[in-house]
Amino acid sequence: MGDKQSGIRLGIVGARGYVGAELITLVAGHPRFELAFVSSRELAGQKVADHNAAYRGELCYSAPSNAELPGLGADAVVLALPNGKAADCVAAFDAAGVDPVIIDLSADYRFDDGWYYGLPELTRSRYRGARRISNPGCYATAMQLAIAPMLDVLAGPVQCFGVSGYSGAGTTPSDKNDPGKLRDNLMPYALVNHVHEREVTRHLGHPVEFMPHVAPHFRGITLTANLHLSRPMTHDEVYARYRERFAGEPLVRVRDEAPWVSRIAGAHHVDIGGFALSEDGRRLVVVATEDNLLKGAATQALQNLNLAFGLEEMAGISTGND
């Protein structure tokens, strides 16, 4: 696969946040990608290595304007910005006639048919060399993987109860990432019409009702999905469906027991399990856990980058017993 001398140059816009830091760590261990620039207004001028132990280079954080981004020589650019901020960056590349692979981590292009929606385990077969890639939301990834194997036997909307660590609320101070206010607490928010509810409903083509909450732990999502079925099913039949659907997928692990969020922090995969059926076999409850900063964001971005450059999809991603 080559060495860093034949590197693919990657820029990260908005790298001060938690996901940006995870991306830097992943790129530092990747056999082909190397950092072209890492933007952060707050950290501009400081060495990336001083803030990220995995990175050994001399690169410093910078604060380029949008108009300056196309001239920085990146083969790929990851936008790790708050919702609503991506379009100005994309417009700057279009105006300059520069066409790197762009991966947007926000929700801005998840509803745009002109962008490839990059949830590889479900959409890999639809990739056609797109250079504009929308990375799915963290909750949306867990929901879709938990529901997809049962799509053809669903009756009515799927209800999803989600609990995330407070890193999911980002670094901008708010009640949802204040450890003091979260202590001994479970904080509900956006209980109807959450962006991930709309995202999953769109991409699965089936209505989903989502109720998110924030908990005191730092990272990791627990997603419990309640599925009404059009016909009775047995536990063995359900379990076999999930095992078959995700056979050969190194970042989806199907287990009989319910997964714990405490075991997913720092891991690149999604755990799916805890399959429970009502007595009549027409109601199924499934639990999924994932690290919201990794498979819910940075790891998935790296999968999409590998796909876009024709590399092995798991390059730079540990698929061992994380």
Please write the tens of the pLDDT for every residue from 4-36.
447 999 999 988 789 999 999 999 999 999 999
Domain boundaries, the chain: 4-108, 138-291
For residue 321, what pLDDT is reported? 52
The set of catalytic residues is 138
- Note the pLDDT tens digit of each residue in 224-252: 999 999 999 999 999 999 999 999 999 99
Which of the listed CATH numbers 3.30.479.10, 3.30.360.10, 3.20.20.80, 3.40.50.720 matches domain 138-291?
3.30.360.10
Tokens of 14: 């908005």
Q: Rounded to two decimals, what is the model's pTM?
A: 0.95
One-letter identity of residue 194: H
Residue 119 reports pLDDT greater than 60: yes
CB 8 within 8 A of CB 34: yes
Q: Band of the pLDDT at 2, cuts 50, 70, 90?
A: very low
pLDDT tens per residue across span 154-172: 999 999 999 999 998 776 7
Nearest to 162 by CA among 214, 119, 198, 235: 214
| Cα separation, 290 vs 136, whole angstroms | 13
Assigned fold of 4-108: Rossmann fold (3.40.50)
Say if 4-108 and 138-291 have the same CATH topology: no
Average pLDDT of the segment spanning 61-88: 96
What confidence tens digit (pLDDT) does each residue in 178-225 have?
888 889 999 999 999 999 999 999 999 999 999 999 999 999 999 999
Gap between the Cα atoms of 141 and 152, Å rounded:
19
CA 156, 168, 118, 238 torsion-angle sign: negative
